[in-house]
Structure 1
């Protein structure tokens, strides 16, 4: 297959909160199970309320089938539906799932689309089985032997019993080393595949290779840009399902990308590869409000591909979804295309950005206090009949940190009546 013939889908199910996709191909059908993010505005870190089962027969259109609920497992009614993996053995389907980052369980079904039943009623990989959190399982099968790989930072692997209810070996740490033989730390969610006698261990946007399943793996470099991965083969081409930031880091999506290789077996990353929806952060409102909401002085609604509001008080304020998690390096400006049907002659814009840090995902989960952020005022035309585009340089803001997290706009300043319409907001 030529590179140009391979299928690429930037966003498989737009604006749905689809995360952690895990693939299984059978009878010329791609099945995948993914977690579901609860909300554009999460309370705490990564609340996920269910796993969803989807399929495709053409890799372009996707059909929803069924949901697996945490209350039907030992988890109970908690939004802890983190990543897992799907496999088949002896005619039955097994969904290995994370109970947040606490432990790992297993469900079983006679059909891939369910219904799934908790096989043990307790964790298969309980807390304390290894020195790291035992979650984000990956199932690898070779010659009838099923192995489970899991963990964060340091990965562990063990052999599954034939009934998939226990381990027949003790978990063993998988060594990853850099090119100089020094230990190399990974992140969460390992994924594995084999090609031409080489084993590939992929974690997020990085990967390593080995001659043996248990390693040692040598770090090779960058993989395709994105989050958690799951690999499958389709008509002679290897593909990956990869988590993206459709709305935000907490309301995600999934991309489908072809995987290409160099002659030496290393992975070739196309020059146009991106972590959707980058580069930058576009809001085009082609389907909905894309997570934007009114904070004060205006309504907000979706009208024929345009974000629209009726002003009811002075200094109306709207904001984007939080946790955009957009890298600011290489970005230079924000453009707003809008039509102002009011007497206002200026708009204001503010951004909230942060540097990465040790507790990045646990801190700053409360709403932004926009009174404390630096606002930029932009002259605009009044009582428009057409849309106009306004540009704000990122350098205009007093503080621009590593990650752009949220945007706020006052679309019609110093008026208490009229309407405004925003066709798009582009960070580029």
Structure 2
């Protein structure tokens, strides 16, 4: 695809610790300035970082989320990004009727699995959202519905009122887990090796202050569960020595965002650095329903606890 270099945009300073840093080569936050992007999921494949996002299409004056498709942005140096997409839409799922909310992409056995939260056109016991999965042989597609039906719906035993924000983690032993949830209710379930079937009963996620947007990563022997807390949302975290818990509360790592009531994060290690990938609403015309992709550093204390993220208007330095 054509390589696009988005213009650097320096967001207005706010009382919420946005810091403008002087660096030789930085991208600028937000990362993407030619459309509104939200709910990022980072994934490393080879020497490239891929960040998959939703797409906010609401007008500046409008209310409510308008989201129809998903994009991807790839980089090898954290400064120059290539735009891919839209790569997938709710229309690619015959059983869906709209609302392309948060998603998660993971590589497994040479294929790329895109877990999405979209509204089901037939099943509506609660809010009618379901989790589906698309698959591709390449990180930028083409993707297609992998099973022709939803993986999780309102009718799934022990599902939640709002089945959104899927996140998949594959443990060291190869066992895959799907996490999701919203409205203060989180869930997890084992997946079969195909990633296309549940492997057992849906379990309740017990984590202090959980609201939505679960994401799991591991450092050393410790599992970190990050998630949005309360509403408007901060990002908080808990830790465990097991992917299935119990989870010990760790604290707030990302403060409330000006103009954006949602907080949705992904954490990724790339070329020896750890990054906190999120959205804000700092582009001109940005609102609660018009958000923008950002990247900043994630750092740990010596005891393994996560330092609070310092938001910047520059993003992170170039890497080789």
The alignment status of 1:125 with 2:152, answered yes or no, reads yes
Q: Secondary structure at 2:176's aligned position in 1? A: strand
Alignment match, 1:138: 167
Alignment match, 2:69: 50
Alignment match, 2:240: 210
Note if contact 1:6-1:258 (Cα within 8 Å) is conserved in structure 2: no
Q: Secondary structure at 1:35's aligned position in 2? A: strand
Matches within 5 A, 1:118-197: 118-129=145-156, 130-132=158-160, 133-142=162-171, 143-152=173-182, 153-176=184-207, 184-197=208-221
Alignment match, 1:26: 45
Which deviations, in whole Å up to 9, do the C-alpha atoms of 1:109-133 show, x marking residues without a partner? Answer: 1111111111122210111322422
The alignment status of 1:66 with 2:79, answered yes or no, reads no
Q: Secondary structure at 1:162's aligned position in 2? A: coil
Alignment match, 1:395: none
Q: CA deviation at 1:201?
A: 0.8
| Structure with higher RCO (Cα < 8 A, 6+ apart) | 2
Alignment match, 2:8: none
Note if contact 1:189-1:203 (Cα within 8 Å) is conserved in structure 2: yes
Partner Cα distance (1:263, 1:6) in 2: 29
The alignment status of 1:115 with 2:146, answered yes or no, reads no
Partner Cα distance (1:7, 1:208) in 2: 31
Partner Cα distance (2:185, 2:206) in 1: 8
Which deviations, in whole Å up to 9, do the C-alpha atoms of 1:20-43 show, x marking residues without a partner? Answer: 111111121011211000123375
Structure 1 unmatched runs, 5+: 177-183, 278-428
Q: Secondary structure at 1:190's aligned position in 2? A: strand
Note if contact 1:31-1:56 (Cα within 8 Å) is conserved in structure 2: yes
Q: CA deviation at 1:5?
A: 11
Alignment length (residue pairs):
264
Which deviations, in whole Å up to 9, do the C-alpha atoms of 1:85-121 show, x marking residues without a partner? Answer: 1011121110000015611000011111111111122
Which is greater in Rg?
A: 1
Note if contact 1:208-1:219 (Cα within 8 Å) is conserved in structure 2: yes
TM-score by length of 1: 0.58
Partner Cα distance (1:218, 1:90) in 2: 32
Q: CA deviation at 1:276?
A: 7.0
Q: Secondary structure at 1:45's aligned position in 2? A: coil
Q: Secondary structure at 2:91's aligned position in 1? A: helix
CA 1:261 to 1:192, structure 2 compared with 1: closer, same or farther past 3 Å?
A: same
The alignment status of 1:265 with 2:304, answered yes or no, reads yes
Q: Secondary structure at 2:29's aligned position in 1? A: coil
Q: Secondary structure at 1:189's aligned position in 2? A: strand
Partner Cα distance (2:49, 2:28) in 1: 14
Structure 2 unmatched runs, 5+: 1-22, 120-126, 229-234, 258-262, 315-320
Matches within 5 A, 1:311-350: none
Q: Secondary structure at 2:102's aligned position in 1? A: strand
CA 1:9 to 1:41, structure 2 compared with 1: closer, same or farther past 3 Å?
A: closer
Note if contact 2:60-2:287 (Cα within 8 Å) is conserved in structure 1: no
CA 1:266 to 1:7, structure 2 compared with 1: closer, same or farther past 3 Å?
A: farther
TM-score by length of 2: 0.76
Q: CA deviation at 1:9?
A: 4.5
Note if contact 1:201-1:208 (Cα within 8 Å) is conserved in structure 2: yes
Q: Secondary structure at 1:71's aligned position in 2? A: helix
Q: CA deviation at 1:198?
A: 1.1
